[in-house]
Amino acid sequence: MSTGGVIGGTTLLISDLHLAIDGPGIAERFIRFLHGPAREADALYILGDLFEVWIGDDDTGNAFNESILTELAHLARSGVAVHFTRGNRDFLCGRASARRAGWQLLGDETLLGVGHTTASSAAEATLPAQERQTVNDTTLLLMHGDTLCTEDHAYQRFRAITHHGLVRAAFLCLPLAWRQRIARRLRQRSIAHQTGSSTPLGDVSERAVIERFRASGASLMIHGHTHRPARHDLSIDGRPCVRWVLPDWTESRGGYLALEPGQSPRMVWLDASNDSSDERVEPAGNVAPDVGERLEPDCDTQQALTNAGAGTRFG
């Protein structure tokens, strides 16, 4: 877990756009988002699976993916601090693509202080640090979310293999054309599997969530991956904690979480009714019951791994 300093101002968080050339509606909505709300923000955090497929930073002939990086680079140049955490689809994004996109590459899990500067912050500055934190500050833990699916042993095994430095290096040494073929085949199988099955995406392990809150000391956790956008209120050892799950983007809607000075996080949905005009702001999604209600092993992608060969169904 890395610590990434303090964020302030307006921060927007997105994940799971799964951008691909055969999903033009999502890409168009994303570009409008970059030219609209993102441009007004101080910082943008992309928490993984921005791309449906990323076969290596040297795949610069992929005009679609490169056009997305270029749009992000424009945003970064306009003064918005852009950060990127890899997802399970785009975990091969490296330093070269980060340079092209103008984003800061984050580790798998990042701990941040949310230093919301409000009118009272000058007075609070005189308080001891510990009291200040309870008054105004929040410790925030960011991640893609796949590492929370600890009950899904098949996926975690797949992840351990594909994230191994040697395996990654070996794959990246394959000629681009081979990697493109492999990616195409996996994607076809993934699509075939999705249309032929109602297997839902796995959810996180509540046990892993509790463990992360305890280990990090964070009171706010934000992640994506599960495609189950919601706000979950928990009590961890008597400490109130909130876990936000970011929405995936589809052809019909997208969404982001906004952190603003002195305000509670809010989910903003983007759909046909507000893409080009005002944002329609909805209250938080379902509020899940407290810890202990759901401890079932609910990240089962065994079937997906078996059928797709490489876990491509996942997130």
Binding site for Mn ion (CB under 5 A): 49, 87-88, 225, 315
Q: How far is the CB of 16 from Mn ion (least distance, A)?
A: 6
Q: How far is the CB of 241 from Mn ion (least distance, A)?
A: 22
Q: Is 270 left (phi over 0), alpha (psi -120 to 50) or beta?
A: beta
- Between 47 and 258, whose beta carbon lies closer to Mn ion? 47
- Between 138 and 301, whose beta carbon lies closer to Mn ion? 301
Distance CA(243)–CA(154), nearest Å, equals 25
Q: How far is the CB of 304 from Mn ion (least distance, A)?
A: 12
- Between 10 and 152, whose beta carbon lies closer to Mn ion? 152
Q: Where are the alpha helices (DSSP H) in the chain?
A: 24-35, 37-40, 63-77, 95-101, 121-124, 129-136, 153-162, 165-173, 176-195, 206-216, 302-308
Handedness of CA 213, 289, 138, 5 (dihedral sign): positive
Q: Which class for 32: exposed (0-12), middle (13-18), buried (19 or more C-beta within 10 A)?
A: middle
Q: How far is the CB of 90 from Mn ion (least distance, A)?
A: 9
- Helices and strands counted in the chain (H then E): 11, 14
**Exposure of 46 in the CB half-sphere (CA atoms within 13 A):** 34
Q: How far is the CB of 226 from Mn ion (least distance, A)?
A: 8
- Between 225 and 231, whose beta carbon lies closer to Mn ion? 225
Which residue has its beta carbon closest to Mn ion? 315
- Between 17 and 82, whose beta carbon lies closer to Mn ion? 17
